[in-house]
Amino acid sequence: MFKSYRCEKLNKTLHFLPDKIKFCCSCAEGPGVVITDFSNIDKEEIIKEKKRIQKLLKRGIIPSVCKGCVDYKEIPLKERVLNLFSPQKDDFLVKHIIVDHFKQCDCKCIYCSQEHIYQTKKQQYEVLPLVKQLYASKMIDSYGLKAEFQGGSISLLKEFDALMEEFYNHGCIDFVVLMNAIKYMPILEKIGCNEKSHIGISLDCGCRETFQKIKGLDLFDETIENIKKLRANSNVHIELKYIIIQGINDNIEELEKFLFVARNIGGIEPISLEIDYRNTILSQFEFKIPAHYYEMFDFAEQFCKKHNILFCKTPHTSNLLKNGIYKPIDCSDKSQ
Ligand SMILES: C[S@@+](CC[C@H](N)C(=O)[O-])C[C@H]1O[C@@H](n2cnc3c(N)ncnc32)[C@H](O)[C@@H]1O
Ligand code: SF4
Ligand code: SF4
């Protein structure tokens, strides 16, 4: 029997990128539905194209725009049989917006993946008018929406406060904001505490010297003060991340300093460790996870347990640790 696929991201995700708007995922190679006219969003055309792609996937055909992507999933046989008797209607309301069209940044992280991908790109358009249009044409699931900010630095995104107000005013309560915390931003205090929302900050170190080496700026103390202030003035979950960078912070001493900083701020949830993407998903080479990386993960986990702090690893990182090695994926055999 032929296989049948579906892509959830195509139905619900909208990703604003510097040079295009993708009605699908953030990181796949295939673009799904793409528009490059930043002045207008044609609802009918977009839904028509989404339907066309889902129809092909359902018939087991991988559309050329999705080749190389890992996000379409096989529909289990049981579900396919059930669907024959009571077909499920596709829901095309946008439930996840990723604001990632801006790459300007006030930081110079040595590991920055943005720099690799969009080195020369300047912000070409504003997202706010488009979001207003999407709300007006009822393309957004207002209360079910997750609004996520990636990009460069939100403190250099002129429309940031107005965008947040737009989302707040339409009842959005789920936010993911990834930031460097170099500048304090009072608008973030309004993000409430719920399971899905969080502000993610890659601190990556526990002292001024290492901060300077990693971020290229002498702003460790100021950053910590900003995190403390945000903790004191808001209820939002604040995640602190430590990206393990070979030869810079890949040692227990630095990690321990970082963990104490997090513990002393208090109310950090969760703490997470990540392996530098330049060794993994941004690399074309195999990477054997060094033994001392395992020790660092164990150390952080034990520390968090002892101090009653939530510790987490992404599924991607857990997999890497389980396999012991990163191998670049050859996507060519998944498409048909
Ligand atoms: C690309 S950033 C964009 C948001 C924001 N500029 C920031 O730095 O948080 C999105 C996430 O990817 C992480 N990131 C960027 N480059 C990375 C790398 N080489 N290895 C691991 N994580 C990385 C950042 O720490 C951040 O949490
Ligand atoms: S399978 Fe296609 S539509 Fe879905 S996320 Fe990947 S590229 Fe986008
Ligand atoms: S804060 Fe984010 S965008 Fe800016 S340099 Fe660091 S990783 Fe890159």
> Does CATH place domain 203-336 in 3.30.830.10?
no
Q: Contact, 254 vs 205, CB < 8 A? A: yes
Looking at residue 335, its pLDDT comes to: 40
Query: Among 51-65, 158-172, 209-223, 288-302, whose mean pLDDT is lowest?
Result: 51-65
Beta-strand relationship, 73-74 and 96-99: unpaired
Q: What one-letter code names the amino acid at 173? A: I
- Ligand 2: distance of its center to the CA of 21 in Å? 13
User: Which residues, other chains included, contact 34 with Cβ-Cβ below 8 Å and sequence gap of 6+?
Assistant: 20, 21, 22, 23, 65
- Cβ of 280 below 6 Å from ligand 1: no
pLDDT tens, position by position, 78-110: 888 887 787 777 789 999 999 999 999 999 999
- Ligand 2: distance of its center to the CA of 5 in Å? 11
For residues 276-293, give the mean pLDDT.
95
Instruction: List the chain domain ranges.
Output: 1-172, 203-336
Q: Contact, 10 vs 65, CB < 8 A? A: no
Q: Contact, 267 vs 231, CB < 8 A? A: yes
- Ligand 2: distance of its center to the CA of 56 in Å? 12
Mutate to test the pocket of ligand 1, among 106, 217, 243 (most ligand atoms within 8 A of CB): 243
pLDDT tens, position by position, 3-41: 899 998 889 999 998 888 888 765 555 566 777 777 878
Number of Cβ within a 10 Å radius of residue 133: 14
- Cβ of 110 below 6 Å from ligand 1: no
For residues 275-289, give the mean pLDDT.
94
Return the ligand 3 atom nearest residue 178 CA. Answer: 2
Return the ligand 3 atom nearest residue 151 CA. Answer: 3
